[in-house]
Amino acid sequence: MKWLSHVLKKDEHDWVKKIEKDDGEENKAKSILNQMQQQLIDMLNMIWLSHLHWIAFLTNNSIYESFNSFRPYPNDIHADDHNLILEYF
């Protein structure tokens, strides 16, 4: 009987170790998922910022074209046009 209780305790101890090991793997998996989530958020932020960059670029072009449309020759670019655009922003 003493031998049986010793075996049961040993098995129970191994089972507890396995649960603790599984918890460690679960924590590792959660850590990996958190890292992946952060990378996804970073990628979405970069995509959003690139869209903002294009919006700003298109806005700058339309403002630049509107300033150029007042000149008799719209393709004639002068330094004071650039300064006027820079002062606008």
Instruction: Transcribe 20-54 into DSSP letters.
Output: HHHHHHHHHHHHHHHHHHHHHHHHHHHHHHHHHHH
Domain count, the chain: 1
DSSP3 helix / strand / coil % (the chain, rounded to 5): 85, 0, 15
- Residue 13, both tokens: 């101890």
The DSSP secondary-structure symbol of 72 reads: S
- For residues 86 and 17, the model is more confident at 17
Provide the residue count of the chain: 89
Rounded to two decimals, what is the model's pTM? 0.38
In this prediction, residue 11 has a pLDDT band, given cuts at 50, 70 and 90, of: low
Res. 38: pLDDT tops 70: yes
Q: Which domain holds residue 69?
A: 2-88
